[in-house]
Every structure is written in C-alpha cells, then in structure tokens.
Amino acid sequence: MYLRTDKFKHTRKMALKTFVKISQVNNLTDARYCAGMYVNWMGFSLEENNANYLSPEKYKEITDWLSGVSYVAEFEHSHPENILKTLQAYEGIDAIEVSQEVHIPMLLNTGKALIFKVSIQSAEDIRELIAKAPGFKENQVTVLLDSSIEKLSEEMISLIADLSEQTQVLLGFGLDASTLETTLDQTGVYGISLKGGTEISPGLKDFDELAEILELLEVED
C-alpha cells in the first residue's frame, strides 16, 4: 500500500478520480484552470533550452495565483548540481523530475519527491522498468511513462499493470477520453500525466482534449 502522504489525504479535496500531474505548464490561464480542477502536481520546465521553459520571474508570477497544488521542477538533461542550483531561484518546489536514470541517486536526499520520466519505445522498456521496480519503490521514485505511442497494446497494458503493482506509476501516454476509465482500471496506475504548455501530447490534440479528460475525472462534491 502506498503512503500517498497524509498531506494529500487531508488537504486535497478528492475532486479528481485519480492522481493527476500536468507537465510543462507555461501560462497563467492553463495553470489556474488546472489548479481549479484540483490537479495534484503541476510541472514547469526549468531548462532554458526547452520550448516551454519558465523563468523564475514567470514562475513566481504564475504560482502567486495558485493554491492547493504541488509544484514539480522538470529537467531532461541538467546535471543534479545544476538542478539544485536552479531550484534556488524557484521557491516552493515540491518535486523534481528527471529523465536521466543516472541522476536519480544524486537527488535522493533533497527532501523533495522524485519523478523519473521514461520514454517508452516498446514493451521491452517496460519490462526493464519492472526489473528495477523494487529499487524505485524503496527510494520512493515515481515512474512517469512517456511515449509517442498513441494506443496502448494489450501487452503494454498488462506490463504496466505489473509495474504498477510494484511501484508508483504515472501514465503519460495512450490516454484517450473514450477509454480512460478502462485504461485506469486495467493498468491500476497511481495516476496520469497530461501535458500543458504549447506542446500537446500525442492523442491530445489541444487544450480542449486535456479539459475533456480532467472533466471526466471530476468527482461530484
């Protein structure tokens, strides 16, 4: 059984049926909408070469308007030393997301939650994660599955279910409003990850589709 931190249990209104992370948020409109929909984690790209890069000033401007959401600092390539240096300019970051596995051990003791974003090309990639799942669980590293694959195969669904039984997984691909509930049931993932910003993930053609998914997940108060 996951901890899911007491913080979430007691302060989050259970307004969404599953845990939701929004990645690469880069404007106030999307940020306010998503916070209003009670997403759990809001991610901002803090690497200057990223198309959705958010400067410290813009980050402050946006987050000053928000409440009830945890902030994720997203990095693809930065070395942990630079990550920690960068974070000094961003107040209130709760979690760090990296895409380089080798960077994980260097960030385990920062006091922040850790997310490992993995680009999935094939079922084999998920098998490799399953082999490493006990280590992720032990170190409380949330695994975020990202991919350009639009539709989840039966094989992938069953592998993701296996992975989710062993550690905390956020599913970031193969999400479609018409099959969302089944996908959540079949994979048993802890939550999902949707992209904000200007780059919309495969299968999510525009902000309307992101909104459609969030509305589907809404729980009546």
Ligand X SMILES: O=C(O)c1ccccc1NCC(=O)[C@H](O)[C@H](O)COP(=O)(O)O
Minimum CB separation of residue 138 from ligand X in Å reads 8
CB of 137 to ligand X, least distance (A): 5
Task: Give the Cβ contact number of residue 117 at 10 Å.
Answer: 21
Q: Which residues bind ligand X (CB under 6 A)?
A: 2-5, 7-8, 70, 94-95, 113, 136-137, 140-142, 167-168
Length of the chain: 221
Q: Specify the residue, 33 or 136, whose C-beta has the smaller distance to ligand X.
A: 136
Looking at beta carbons only, is 192 or 204 nearer to ligand X?
Answer: 192
DSSP codes of every residue in 3-33: ---HHHHHHS---BSSEEEEES--SHHHHHH
Minimum CB distance to ligand X smaller for 4 or for 17: 4
Shortest Å distance, C-beta 75 to ligand X: 16
Residues in contact with 175: Cβ distance below 8 Å, sequence separation at least 6, in sequence order:
183, 192, 194, 201, 203, 204, 213
**Alpha carbons 218 and 221: distance in angstroms, whole number:** 9
Closer residue to ligand X, CB minimum distance, 129 or 141: 141
Least separation in angstroms between residue 33's CB and ligand X is 20
The answer to whether 174 and 168 are in contact (CB under 8 A) is: no
